[in-house]
Amino acid sequence: MWFARGVTPTADSSLPGQLHPVQTPGRAVAAVHRPQSVVQALQLLADDPDRLPLAGGTDLLLDLHRGGVGPSVEVVDLTAIADFDSIEETSEELVLSGGVRHGQVIADDRFIRYATPLAQACLEIGSPQLRNRATIAGNLATASPANDTLSALLALGAAVELSTWDGAAVQARRVAVADFFTGFRATVLQPNELITRIVVPKLRANQRGLWVKLGNRRAQAISVIHAAFVVDIDDGIVSGATVAVGSMAATVMLVPGIGAALAGTSLDSTAITAAADAARNAFEPIDDVRATAQYRRDAVESLVTRSLLAIRDQQHRSQWPEVVPGLHSALSHVPQTARTVVTDNTAISMNVNGGELSGDGASSANLLDWLRNAGAAVERTLDGTKEGCAEGECGACTVQLNGAAVMACIVQAAQADGGTVVTVEGLATTDEGLHPIQQAFIDEFAVQCGYCIPGFLMAGCSLVDEVPNPTDEQIKLGLSGNLCRCTGYYPIIQAVKSAAERLASDRLEANR
Ligand SMILES: Cc1cc2nc3c(=O)[nH]c(=O)nc-3n(C[C@H](O)[C@H](O)[C@H](O)COP(=O)(O)OP(=O)(O)OC[C@H]3O[C@@H](n4cnc5c(N)ncnc54)[C@H](O)[C@@H]3O)c2cc1C
Ligand code: FES
Ligand code: FES
């Protein structure tokens, strides 16, 4: 099991009785600091380097939970910092602030055009709900060799800006991604430093980029191998090539020898075979639960061959979907909150389904538990949002937070303070009755035990709002973060289609 930077499993993590890690008590979060500027965040880290930066929380919160009982921690939440998710473009670079999420990269056409491998990597991370929270900086800082954006950033020649507060001013240093990783889940990042920018050089007109992943299932899969390619081609002849691979060794690595194997060729089959051989022989691959070393060796050869053929035939962007459902109406948001620190005794509040809801117990609780408990305390039923896996895998806890579908089990409740939440209880209205998507699930027999259904309804509702007439493929992509163990997916897909049709005809009627 892997743990986020700064989280060390304690002796208590091996509890008797073989409980699943999500059933064991984790480390309490004593305080969630919510700075509203980068300077404030850096000062909080400088004051106490044991504080941990918290972005989307999709690695850190799980690791705190899985690490077993230990001393409580304080976290510095980066999601309330204004403009920390901004993206700037210069003639040569795309410059991402430290809080940019994978979902933003996918939604912004500049990335598929100018940083193709990064866009393709972000699209393969987790699920839409996860991508609406998880950041690229978090992916870098966790530094697992399986983390998908790492090979893309390495092949593109990206760099990170690392900032600290020295007591009087912000100090920043720039580190190439090639120099950022020092070993297995180890980086040059110091405890009081933040990744404040990620600088991605734009692909030049003569460069073609591609990123590929081999995983054991379509969504939520940890890569068995991921690889990124940037090939310079002038008048059909290769003048340079960079290939980075992840999940093959302790860190993500550049494959030596590929540039030499391809330079001066037209990507003919002899050159491609030489490049694939170079990749096969470059590493002593890791051998783990996801694949044997021998499988990885064979697979990397085949991945390199297929990828170079795609690049040669200009098919490197052909798999990019025309419409990418992100399950959000707004992604760049900063909830306004007066509270700069939340402990378990601080009452937080948010707008839930149109009404204000307050409650305490927020620094340790995730949004799922907080909603259910705070609702029960004031006799407002909010138990429709379900816990299936408690680790971001099943989608049963999907709610909309500030316009984006998220997994409530991996959002710290304090991070939603001052925000707007819609749960399944907010879909039906008293005057109009069931939401069309709820009715469609009934009409299409898309429900058996019903446990997963609130999550499907919330994801489906975001999907039909965003993509008015979704195809089967778009529905599959949009619902890829939701699992159902008993109904089966065909009636669910049909229900979403029916709801979209009903909404389209309602809109037509309203416009007559
Ligand atoms: C169900 C599920 C599926 C997943 N699927 C994938 C997948 O397919 N591919 C993949 O690569 N990953 C996957 N992940 C892992 C995770 O979502 C990513 O690594 C994500 O990018 C982490 O970003 P975050 O914002 O959530 O980081 P957090 O969890 O908030 O933080 C992770 C680490 O980074 C540090 N950190 C965060 N921001 C900064 C910053 N600006 N400066 C310095 N340190 C910082 C934190 O202190 C912590 O140590 C998955 C996770 C889950 C739960
Ligand atoms: S994704 Fe939250 S309970 Fe499964
Ligand atoms: S309806 Fe039973 S798990 Fe989906």
List, as one string, the DSSP characters of 397-434: TEEEETTEEEEGGGSBGGGGTT-EEE-GGGTSBTTTBS
Please give the distance, rounded to the nearest whole angstrom, from the Cα atom of residue 131 to the centre of ligand 3: 24
Please give the distance, rounded to the nearest whole angstrom, from the Cα atom of residue 155 to the centre of ligand 1: 20
Please give the distance, rounded to the nearest whole angstrom, from the Cα atom of residue 215 to the centre of ligand 3: 25
**457-473 pLDDT tens trace:** 999 999 999 998 999 99
pLDDT of residue 223: 87
Structure tokens belonging to residue 61: 């919160």
> Which residues lie with the beta carbon below 6 Å from any ligand 2 atom?
387-390, 392-397, 407, 409
Residue 337 pLDDT class (50, 70, 90 cuts): low
pLDDT of residue 17: 59
CA 26 to chain centre: 22
At residue 78, does pLDDT exceed 50?
A: yes
Residue 487 CA: nearest ligand 3 atom is 1
Structure tokens belonging to residue 160: 């990170």
- Choose the residue to mutate in 327, 397, 399, 483 for probing ligand 2, maximizing ligand atoms within 8 Å of C-beta: 397
Give percent above pLDDT 70 in the chain.
93
Ligand nearest to the CA of 389: 2
Residue nearest to atom 2 of ligand 3 (CA): 449
pLDDT of residue 169: 98
At residue 336, does pLDDT exceed 80?
A: no
Please give the distance, rounded to the nearest whole angstrom, from the Cα atom of residue 463 to the centre of ligand 3: 19
Mean pLDDT value of segment 235-240: 96
- Type of residue found at 292: T
pLDDT of residue 334: 55
Residue 1 pLDDT class (50, 70, 90 cuts): very low
Fold topology of 87-312: 3.30.465
Residue 124 CA: nearest ligand 1 atom is 8
> Which single residue is written with the structure tokens 């991402």?
96
Distance CA 298, CA 44 (A): 48
- Domain 427-511: CATH class, spelled out: mainly alpha
Residue 333 pLDDT class (50, 70, 90 cuts): low
At residue 61, does pLDDT exceed 60?
A: yes
pLDDT of residue 14: 46
At residue 27, does pLDDT exceed 60?
A: yes
- Choose the residue to mutate in 486, 489, 490, 492 for probing ligand 3, maximizing ligand atoms within 8 Å of C-beta: 486
Distance CA 67, CA 10 (A): 6
Distance CA 216, CA 209 (A): 24
Residue 452 CA: nearest ligand 3 atom is 4
Ligand nearest to the CA of 445: 3
- Choose the residue to mutate in 444, 487, 490 for probing ligand 3, maximizing ligand atoms within 8 Å of C-beta: 487
**439-452 pLDDT tens trace:** 999 999 999 999 99
Residues linked to residue 433 through DSSP beta bridges, in sequence order: 429
Ligand nearest to the CA of 62: 1
Please give the distance, rounded to the nearest whole angstrom, from the Cα atom of residue 262 to the centre of ligand 1: 35
371 neighbors 416 (Cβ within 8 angstroms): no
Does 172 or 331 have the greater pLDDT score? 172
Please give the distance, rounded to the nearest whole angstrom, from the Cα atom of residue 327 to the centre of ligand 2: 16
Of the candidates 11, 45, 43, the residue with the CA atom closest to the CA atom of residue 27: 11
Q: Give the CA distances from residue 214 to residues 225, 233, 304, 477, in Å, rounded to whole numbers and listed in that order.
A: 5, 26, 12, 17
Residue 447 CA: nearest ligand 3 atom is 1
**390-419 pLDDT tens trace:** 999 999 999 999 999 999 999 999 999 999
Distance CA 152, CA 162 (A): 19
Please give the distance, rounded to the nearest whole angstrom, from the Cα atom of residue 100 to the centre of ligand 1: 12
Average pLDDT value over all residues in the chain: 92
Distance CA 386, CA 452 (A): 7
- Percent helix, strand, coil in the chain, to 5, is 35, 20, 45
pLDDT of residue 2: 41
Of the candidates 208, 224, 405, 422, the residue with the CA atom closest to the CA atom of residue 318: 208
- Type of residue found at 284: E
pLDDT of residue 362: 79
Mean pLDDT value of segment 158-169: 98
Please give the distance, rounded to the nearest whole angstrom, from the Cα atom of residue 240 to the centre of ligand 3: 51
Residue 387 CA: nearest ligand 2 atom is 3
Please give the distance, rounded to the nearest whole angstrom, from the Cα atom of residue 101 to the centre of ligand 1: 10
pTM for the full predicted model: 0.94
Mean pLDDT value of segment 103-114: 97
Residue 148 CA: nearest ligand 1 atom is 11
Please give the distance, rounded to the nearest whole angstrom, from the Cα atom of residue 46 to the centre of ligand 3: 47
Of the candidates 502, 504, 475, the residue with the CA atom closest to the CA atom of residue 490: 475
At residue 13, does pLDDT exceed 50?
A: no
At residue 267, does pLDDT exceed 90?
A: yes
Task: Provide DSSP, 65-122.
Answer: HHT-S---EEEEE-TTSTTTT-EEE-SSEEEEETT-BHHHHHH-HHHHHH-HHHHHHH
Mean pLDDT value of segment 4-13: 49
Please give the distance, rounded to the nearest whole angstrom, from the Cα atom of residue 492 to the centre of ligand 1: 30
> Which residues lie with the beta carbon below 6 Å from any ligand 3 atom?
447-453, 484-487
CATH of the structural domain 26-80+342-424, one choice from 3.10.20.30, 2.130.10.10, 3.10.129.10, 1.10.645.10: 3.10.20.30
Distance CA 92, CA 113 (A): 13
H or E segment at 371?
helix 367-377
**270-322 pLDDT tens trace:** 999 999 999 999 988 888 888 899 999 999 999 999 999 999 999 999 999 99
pLDDT of residue 413: 95
At residue 23, does pLDDT exceed 50?
A: yes
Residue 215 CA: nearest ligand 1 atom is 8
At residue 487, does pLDDT exceed 80?
A: yes
> Which residues lie with the beta carbon below 6 Å from any ligand 1 atom?
4-6, 52-60, 62, 78, 98, 125-126, 130, 133-135, 137-139, 141-142, 147-148, 189, 194-195, 220-221, 391-393, 410
- Domain chopping of the chain, boundaries: 26-80+342-424, 87-312, 427-511
- Edge-to-edge strand list for the sheet holding 87-89: 87-89, 93-97, 194-201, 159-165, 170-176
